[in-house]
Chains A and B, each alone.
Chain A
Amino acid sequence: MSTEQPWSRAKGPFAAVFTAPALWLLFFFLVPLAIIWAYSFGTTQGLTDIDINGTFSNYVRIADPVYIEVFVKSLWYAALTTFLCLVVGFPVALAITFSSDRQKVWLLLLIMLPFWTNLLVRTYALMAVLRTEGFVNDMLGWVGLGPWPLLHNNFAVVFGLVYVNLPFLVLPLYSALDRLDRSLLEASLDLGAGHIRTIFEVVVPLALPGILSGLLITFIPALGSYLTPDLLGGPDSQMIANVIERQFKRANDWPFGSALSFILMYLTFFAIAAQGLVAKRRKGLEQ
């Protein structure tokens, strides 16, 4: 923006608003991250001491098939969750976009309220419903099915991830669709295309940057999920975050946990960079 003022021309006001947040960010965020980054190149000495000696052994250990499997599984669950959220959420976002202003407020509230509700409470609610003696199996029992094991398995994890993350996708999807020029859709209908054709030929290409950022906003927290696999999953449902937690709280191998954390962060950054690249490529089309 051309209205930005060089800091040197108003040192007093600049220092007044800049110093405190910058120092906070440095001390209470960047420094802690830097420490675990350093730890990831160290080894545990004795019970508590960590010797930062520049070793890559922690990263080499991740190449163990056990951990590779955890990473692949985490990526797969996150991708599957994101895809399912897209399938479930797209029609919802579409309906909200083209509803009247009054309806819009209520529909957005409908999506937002669970989003504002405590994650742990939501996960717990799901546990109660999915239990073998839970609500869903009761219903299945009435129609002569089940009981099926719905909790403490991989199904429950993905189900829970979709449940928890759906609002994350619907909201950005809605804002992406809402920015579209309605007359473009009308022009497509007018020129002979049906609704499905219009969605694929006009809506999706034009809203793609917004859709992608919505997918990213869903994918990142899904990838780093801790609570959902921990509470809903079975013994084989561990995701990266659960493994990291174990290194810090139980196995007491901080350097290895740090290395795992950074790999998770790099994966996150990679996803962001990939999305940024695609968005940039398409930017010319959006004007």
Chain B
Amino acid sequence: MAEPLIRIEGVCKRFGDFAAVDNVDLAIEEGEFFALLGPSGCGKTTLLRMLAGLEVPTEGRILIDGKDMEGIPPNKRPVNMVFQSYAVFPHMTVEQNVGYGLRIDGVAKDERAQRVQEALGLVKLDGFEKRKPDQLSGGQRQRVALARALVKRPRVLLLDEPLSALDAKLREAMRSELAIIQDKVGVTFVMVTHDQDEALAMACRCGVMNKGVLQQVATPSDLYEYPANRFVADFIGSVNLFEGKLVIDETSQALIEADGARVWVDHGVTGATGGTVWAALRPEKIELSHREEGGHRPPVAAGTPEGANMLAGTVRHYSYLGSETVYEIEAAGGRMIKVLRSNVRRYEDRGFDYDQPVWLSWSPQSPAVLLS
């Protein structure tokens, strides 16, 4: 396989006893839109800043284009950054801001003007050349920061929480626009964000970080459907976790005995050592049906062991969110389970009310079994 554009090998960053980034290995391919995702303080920004050369790793190596970046200052690296605060120079016009890096590089005046124009066109800021940053909105300032970084034609563009300072509507618009720009220029984007929607919507691949450790690197759908551990399952979207013991583990099926619930899946669990495991079940993958005295139980898949993949519960709370409704169901033993139902029809009676007895059921394909 060809050498990846960015290779991070065993990188650690320690501040005293605290490890902000802990032994991270990661490869990012040319042309990718890669997102580093995690809660605040997880080390994702530190990792990004180490790529830019603004922080120096305590241990490990960073290679860009096969070249070791150790000792190479930020101004000599083939990367450029869009800062979280945008860091647009307030004493320069839009034109001067965008042209700054080219002027530093000694690009001739004519070529500079032309490239600045192109970059401004790319981010749709034509006509704003002579404006000062304080005459721009937040979104426009961000475009300046983007143009300023892209005009240098970097090998990698680093984006630090690029959308966090924008309001909700603008954020959605910018998401698709950033993706379009990336497509146009073909530069590798590495983005840091704490917003999972943002990462899932924009990135080809995501790396999820927590407490300095890279938890999982995968495509957005794999992150959601095949989380590597409880942290990822819980951080991406919402999840119901069943903690229990593996009582059956064969190649084509496995059964988890959790406290008051049995979860059956139609595949074996690799790597299980007989300890505790967790079944992660997404709220939208649970069926909700009425439970009546002596009434029918909901249907289950063929071969389901007795009492598995089904729970009796009572509706304790629900939140109507327009496109969907989130129910909070109390199952036996006080376990609270979240269930999500799409509101498909306008006139449909919600059908489930406070304190109503209900059945919860799911298919054996729905739960993900986690070992840690």
Contact bitstring A161-203, B, C-beta under 8 A = 1, else 0: 0000000000000000000010110111111111001000110
CA distance A284 to B132 in the complex (A): 10
Residue pair A189, B89 in contact (C-beta under 8 Å): no
Of B73-81, B243-251, B284-292, B307-315, the one contacting chain A is B73-81
Q: Which residues from chain A contact B262 at a C-beta distance below 8 Å?
A: none
Residues of A within 8 A of B (CB): 181, 183-184, 186-194, 197, 201-202, 205-206, 284-287
CB distance from A204 to the nearest CB of B (A): 10
CB distance from B161 to the nearest CB of A (A): 12
Residue pair B54, A190 in contact (C-beta under 8 Å): yes
CA distance A201 to B75 in the complex (A): 14
B interface, over-half SS: mixed
CA distance A167 to B75 in the complex (A): 33
CB distance from B160 to the nearest CB of A (A): 9
CB distance from A114 to the nearest CB of B (A): 32
Q: A181-B87, A205-B91, A287-B134 are in contact. Are A189 and B105 (CB under 8 A)?
A: no
CB distance from B199 to the nearest CB of A (A): 22
Interface size on B, residues (CB 8 A): 29
Q: Which residues from chain B contact A206 at a C-beta distance below 8 Å?
A: 89-91
Whether B83 sits at the interface, judged by CB under 8 Å, is: yes
Partner of A187, one of B73, B81, B134: B81
CA distance A194 to B83 in the complex (A): 18
Interface residues of B in 34-72 (CB under 8 A from A): 52-54
Q: Which residues from chain A contact B85 at a C-beta distance below 8 Å?
A: 181, 183
Contact bitstring B233-256, A, C-beta under 8 A = 1, else 0: 000000000000000000000000
CB distance from A266 to the nearest CB of B (A): 33
- Please name the residue on chain B nearest to A205 by beta carbon: B91
Partner of A284, one of B80, B81, B134: B134
Residue pair A190, B81 in contact (C-beta under 8 Å): yes
Residue pair B105, A192 in contact (C-beta under 8 Å): yes
Residue pair A191, B100 in contact (C-beta under 8 Å): yes
6 interchain residue pairs of minimum CB distance? A191-B101, A187-B87, A183-B87, A192-B104, A189-B74, A285-B91
CA distance A192 to B53 in the complex (A): 12
